[in-house]
Amino acid sequence: MTTILRIDASIKGDASVTRRLGDKIVARLQADHPGATLMTRDVSAGIPLIDGAWIGAAYTPADQRNAAQKAQLALSDELIAELKAADVVVIGMPVYNFGITGPLKAWIDQICRVGETFVYTEAGPQGLVTGPRVIAAYASGGVPQGSANDLATPYLRQVLGFIGITDVRVIAAAGVAVDEAAALARAETQIAALAA
């Protein structure tokens, strides 16, 4: 059975292009995998930012953490468990000011955790999350996906690769501020071409 994890990060609610694309991507995945389990995580209202106490807890061996440190990492534990349980992760990636949203960055910071999603080795960092593939729903007002001004896509690929996820597909609706209908049509063509 296939498990889909959907992450929404747009602050635009029902007006969000990435949410609409996410709906279509999930529908396509569910059509290809009847009976798939869907987990959803809307981070748009905010996820706690990591801080010094969080880092201290993360670098303390699990069997030595006190109650406060365990509480500090509880959300991170939950988010990592969702990620590791997923076969496919659908990430809404709206582009604000050339990069990803603050809430999406906060989610990434919570899931990038030493000993849980990556380890340091003599050969360099090694990712520990090798199971899921990612489909990112990219939307921007005017930044073409893959252009020199697109800082979001390379960052997402880099950070996911760091934790072991290398199968990353981007569905792009770029230029929605210029011609939203055309941008959505291009994205829908890409969704239709998604392989099961």
- Residues making up the annotated binding site are 10
Instruction: Give the residue ranges of the annotated binding site for FMN.
Output: 10
Tokens in use for 48? 């706690």
Tokens in use for 187? 């994205």
Q: Looking up tokens 């670098």, which residue turns up? A: 59
The CA distance from 137 to 93, in Å, is 5
Burial tier of 159 (Cβ tally within 10 Å: 0-12, 13-18, 19+): middle
The CA distance from 26 to 16, in Å, is 16
